[in-house]
Structure 1
Amino acid sequence: MLLNVVGDYYLLDMPPSSMFRRLLCTSLPSHHHFNHHFNHHHFNHHHFNHHPFKPIFMNPSPHFSSSSSKMSNPRTPLSIPIPSIDKSNRSELLRALESSLGSSFNSQPLHPNPNPLIIVISGPSGVGKDAVITRLRSSRRNLHFVVTATTRPMRPTEIDGKDYHFVTKDQFLAMVEEDELLEYAMVYGDYKGVPKQQIRDFMGKGCDIVLRVDIQGAQTLKKVLGKSAVFVFLVAESEMAMVERLVDRKTETAESLLVRIATAREEVKHMKNFDYVVVNAKGKLDNAVKLMESIIDAEKAKVMQRNAII
């Protein structure tokens, strides 16, 4: 046992087997100075206060600390022995495994349900956007096609409220004034716009949203939605195939046909600004639809989900 002096304190070193390795002595009952050797240590004129001896315990023995922690929690449950895998039933084995691991197994999904997607489909005139969307809607559940508002005249095969919301120019401008449109533009002399409320309502129900817009509308939505939406460029297999489809529609005058073809040539140049490209070749509509479904499935399997807020 050694007595060491540190400042105004006296440290009493004791053997490791003792309950405590050190006692810090703040005072000793004495009225004189020490001038002698104690265990080979020399002390010169260290004054001891007149207070009772008050040891402060420091550095408890590791053995004592370990024993103390075990004693402080006497109710720690013992784990259930893991039974033989071949001879035990599943419930018994699971219970033993949970006991050994210290927690129950969670039955919640490891990956949360994917967020509703906004899929923006665009492309030049004559590439079959309507045909792809119609087939996609019939083959995929929880997919809502947002009906665009437009001021253009209704074609013979179109249905108001299903293909488009056909409105007057004054009605359309009133929608703009009330901030009811996510985006709008003038296309070939007519207004087109995407209503916001439809998107909010159906996304709230967990539905994926499909928007069909022209290239100009896609550019606007890219600025508004950024990476929170999926942008798909639909294209024909060739320029000739695209022009043939426009001619076969027989809905354009010669003048408007020239405008559409010239515009389509320019619009193809914007393909690089989209996330995906889908070729809708003549007679291969099913292939285009399957590719669209694969894109949606791939997006929903991503670890980092897109999260559109309208």
Structure 2
Amino acid sequence: MPAWVPPGYGAPLLVVISGPTAVGKTTVLRHLRELGRPYHITVTVTTRAPRPGEVHGRDYFFVSQPEFEAMAARGEFLEYACVHGKDYYGTPRAQIRAALARGLDVIVPPDVQGAAAIRAAVPGAVTIFMAARSLEDLERRLRAPERGHSEEEIQRRMGTARAEMARVSEFDYLVINEEGRLDDTVREIDLIIQAEKRRVRRAPIEV
């Protein structure tokens, strides 16, 4: 870089992509990974059971609750939380540090309360809220037969989603993930990241 370029310009980013359940984060993250950009998408640690087709170490790190609690006690998570009152999810610090050290932009996909914790701990993080077009659209996705949710579970998740949607103003960006427009969603998020790379002033990323 020329000598007149401010320190930190173009440095690796910590990007938080969050939003309600069933909004399509997993699919969007998979397509971001396929863009060939220097992105590292963190693999979350969770106590929940694997779903069909999920692979340990690729989709999640599946651990027992005692293992999770031990990791939390050792300070291994940037943030962690109990989601929907059932399972624990945590964002591993070491994975983020290693990727940043390699010059990669790190994308973290926590739930909304996890995003708030990261924002408080790392003010320089870029935060993106992904949403469905409407709560009705979100409920329809939750009712898809392949999800296998009971009516009680659907109502619990919708209650959480309503509370999460009310917090959208806490985020830097809002991206609507509309049905049938996945490529547009991926493109929007990629453009946000590329624009943020060109920001002149930015708080340093320390995890």
- 1:301 aligns to 2:198 (yes or no): yes
Q: Which residue of 83, 86, 111 maps to 2:5?
A: 111
Q: Which residue of 236, 241, 246 maps to 2:137?
A: 241
Distance 1:247 1:253 in 2: 9
Q: Which residue of 218, 231, 241 maps to 2:127?
A: 231
Task: Describe the superposition over 1:209-239 as per-residue Cα deviations: whole angstroms up to 9, x where unpaired.
Answer: 000011111111121112x100100001111
- Tell me the CA shift for residue 142 of structure 1: 1.1
- Identify unmatched segments of 5+ residues in structure 2: none
- 1:292 aligns to 2:193 (yes or no): no
Distance 2:104 2:25 in 1: 20
1:116 aligned counterpart, secondary structure: coil
1:304 aligned counterpart, secondary structure: coil
- Tell me the CA shift for residue 111 of structure 1: 3.3
Q: Could you tell me which amino acid in structure 2 is paired with residue 111 of structure 1?
A: V
Contact persistence 1:114–1:305 (CA under 8 A):
no
Could you say which residue in structure 2 is the equivalent of 1:268?
165
Distance 1:251 1:140 in 2: 34
1:165 aligned counterpart, secondary structure: strand
Distance 1:241 1:109 in 2: 51
Could you say which residue in structure 1 is the equivalent of 2:87?
190
Distance 1:278 1:306 in 2: 23
Distance 1:171 1:141 in 2: 33
Distance 1:139 1:118 in 2: 18
Could you say which residue in structure 1 is the equivalent of 2:148?
251
- Tell me the CA shift for residue 157 of structure 1: 2.2
- Identify unmatched segments of 5+ residues in structure 1: 1-106
Distance 1:235 1:139 in 2: 22
- 1:279 aligns to 2:173 (yes or no): no
Q: Which residue of 80, 97, 101 maps to 1:204?
A: 101
How many percent of aligned residue pairs carry the same amino acid? Answer: 39
- Tell me the CA shift for residue 109 of structure 1: 6.5
Q: Which residue of 90, 115, 132 maps to 1:218?
A: 115
Distance 2:3 2:141 in 1: 47
Distance 1:238 1:157 in 2: 28
Q: TM-score, normalised by structure 1?
A: 0.63
Distance 1:251 1:292 in 2: 29
Contact persistence 2:47–2:62 (CA under 8 A):
yes
Q: Could you tell me which amino acid in structure 1 is paired with residue 5 of structure 2?
A: H
Could you say which residue in structure 2 is the equivalent of 1:138?
34
Q: Could you tell me which amino acid in structure 2 is paired with residue 220 of structure 1?
A: A
- Tell me the CA shift for residue 108 of structure 1: 4.0
Distance 2:205 2:148 in 1: 36
Distance 1:109 1:163 in 2: 42
Contact persistence 1:148–1:193 (CA under 8 A):
yes
Distance 2:195 2:184 in 1: 16
Task: Describe the superposition over 1:61-100 as per-residue Cα deviations: whole angstroms up to 9, x where unpaired.
Answer: xxxxxxxxxxxxxxxxxxxxxxxxxxxxxxxxxxxxxxxx
Distance 2:186 2:90 in 1: 25
Count of residue correspondences: 203
Could you say which residue in structure 2 is the equivalent of 1:180?
76
1:139 aligned counterpart, secondary structure: coil
Contact persistence 2:139–2:154 (CA under 8 A):
no
Supply the RMSD in Å over aligned alpha carbons.
Answer: 1.5
Q: Between the two structures, name the one with larger relative contact order (CA 8 Å, sep ≥ 6).
A: 2
Contact persistence 1:299–1:305 (CA under 8 A):
no
